[in-house]
Amino acid sequence: MILQAFFAALGQMTDPRFTRVLWRGVGLALGLLVAIGLVLWLAIEAVIPGSVSLPVIGAFGTGVLATAGVVLAMLAASVFVMVPVAAAFSALFLDEVAEAVETAHYPGRPGRPLPLWEGIADSAVLFLVMVAVSLVTFALSFVLGPFGPVLFWAVNGWLLGREYFLMAARRHLGRAEAQALAARHRGTLWLAGTLMAAPLSLPLVGLFIPVLGAATFTHLFQRLRSDRAGGSNPYPGSR
């Protein structure tokens, strides 16, 4: 079931509606990082005098120091927060991904768009989860050695699986009913979430996880709902 959903989602990754959400999230994240860099550059120039003198190096203007500080800060930010920030922005538009999946594969089962405030709340939760993923990965690499990634995948697989499934389910069910369905299938969601969490350890690959996760869990929700209703074909509109 999980692999079916995953490969069905993967097969649709070139859908313009998928790529639009992906690049929108990346673009907004880059814009935020540039804005932070500009503020940092202005702050350095405002706080430090017009020139600085260091042993051996000699005197140089604060513009050079500000530029160097901004470049270093941007490099660090791109490594540690680019993925979670891009994921948070992408989560604002994941309804579009779910709608694209339902249109292509489940034309008779359309969901309803979630209210804007729920999208904002979901993006905030996803951002916090993915920041936790980054921090835990870094910490466990020192403490547990090769076993760190296993615990990382297990813990965050549970978190991501639940959040992605609820995003998909709430397009069709009330919050309480969606949570009850998630609780009944927690093992399946945990395993599927782990499949999403594992690539987060890889540079850049994590940028694709919000879109791929939203699509995969939309398929999973439709499959689980079909099983509960006694349906025989979980992918009636699949190609």
For the stretch 116-130, pLDDT in tens is 777 777 777 777 776
pLDDT band at 221 (very low <50, low <70, confident <90, very high): very high
For the stretch 56-74, pLDDT in tens is 554 545 555 566 666 666 6
* Rounded-to-integer distance, Cα 156 and Cα 166, Å: 15
% the chain with pLDDT above 90:
8
Neighbours of 41 (CB within 10 A): 19
What's the average model confidence in pLDDT over 119-146?
A: 71
* Rounded-to-integer distance, Cα 8 and Cα 233, Å: 14
Q: Which residue has the higher pLDDT, 235 or 187?
A: 187
User: How far is the CA of 54 from the CAs of 51, 57, 60, 61, 66, in angstroms?
Assistant: 10, 6, 8, 11, 15
> What residues does 61 pair with on adjacent strands?
51
pTM: 0.71
Instruction: Give the residue extent of every domain in the chain.
Output: 2-15+83-229
Q: Which residue has the higher pLDDT, 57 or 223?
A: 223
* Rounded-to-integer distance, Cα 110 and Cα 103, Å: 7
Is residue 24 a contact partner of residue 90, using CB atoms and an 8 Å limit? yes
For the stretch 19-43, pLDDT in tens is 888 888 778 777 877 777 777 777 7
